[in-house]
Amino acid sequence: MSRIPTSTVLISAAFLIFGCGGSLFTRFISRAVEQDSTRMEYIPNKITHPLLPDVGLSILWIGHASVLIQIHDKVFLTDPVFERTVGMLSRRVVEAGIDPATLSHVDYILISHTHFDHLNYGSLSELPKQGKLLIPFGAAAYTPEFGFQETREMKPWEMFEEDGVRITAVPAQHFSGRYGFDIFWTDGEGYAGYVIQYKEKTVYFAGDTGYRDSLFTRIGERFRIDVALLPIAPLEPREFMSRVHLDPQRAVQAFAGLHAKLMIPIHHRTFSQGLESSVMQAQEELEKIVSDVRLQGKVYIMKIGEQKIVDE
Complex with other proteins: residue 101 or 140, whichever CB lies closer = 140
Report the alpha-carbon distance of residue 266 to residue 252 in Å, rounded. 13
Query: How remote is the C-alpha of 81 from its chain's centroid?
Result: 9
Separation in Å, CA 296 to CA 134, 140, 286, 288, 290: 33, 40, 11, 11, 6
Q: How many CA within 13 A on the CB side of residue 257?
A: 16
Complex with other proteins: residue 70 or 273, whichever CB lies closer = 273
Does position 36 bind other proteins by CB under 8 A? yes
Does position 159 bind other proteins by CB under 8 A? no
* One of 103, 172, 227, 228 touching other proteins (CB under 8 A): 172
Neighbours of 14 (CB within 10 A): 11
Complex with other proteins: residue 60 or 170, whichever CB lies closer = 170
Complex with other proteins: residue 226 or 247, whichever CB lies closer = 247
Q: Answer yes or no: are the C-beta atoms of 79 and 123 closer than 8 Å.
A: no
Q: Answer yes or no: are the C-beta atoms of 209 and 156 closer than 8 Å.
A: no
Contacting other proteins within 37-76 (CB under 8 A): none
Separation in Å, CA 233 to CA 92, 208, 279: 15, 9, 9
- Site size toward other proteins, by CB under 8 A: 75
Does position 180 bind other proteins by CB under 8 A? yes
* One of 136, 231, 248, 257 touching other proteins (CB under 8 A): 136
* One of 41, 129, 144, 311 touching other proteins (CB under 8 A): 144
User: 22-39 burial, b if ≥16 CB within 10 A, otherwise e?
Assistant: eeeeeeeeebbeebeeee
Contacting other proteins within 69-88 (CB under 8 A): 86-88
Does position 155 bind other proteins by CB under 8 A? yes
Complex with other proteins: residue 172 or 279, whichever CB lies closer = 172
DSSP string, 14-27: HHHHHTTTHHHHHH
Contacting other proteins within 5-34 (CB under 8 A): 5-6, 9, 12-13, 16-18, 20-21, 24-25, 27-29, 31-33
* One of 58, 66, 70, 151 touching other proteins (CB under 8 A): 151
Shortest separation between residue 215's beta carbon and other proteins, angstroms:
7
Separation in Å, CA 299 to CA 15, 64, 212: 44, 17, 20
* One of 110, 215, 229, 289 touching other proteins (CB under 8 A): 215
Does position 309 bind other proteins by CB under 8 A? no
Nearest to 71 by CA among 199, 159, 207, 226: 199
For other proteins, which stretch binds (CB under 8 A), given 41-49, 172-180, 197-205, 278-286?
172-180
Report the alpha-carbon distance of residue 65 to residue 270 in Å, rounded. 9
* One of 270, 273, 281, 283 touching other proteins (CB under 8 A): 273
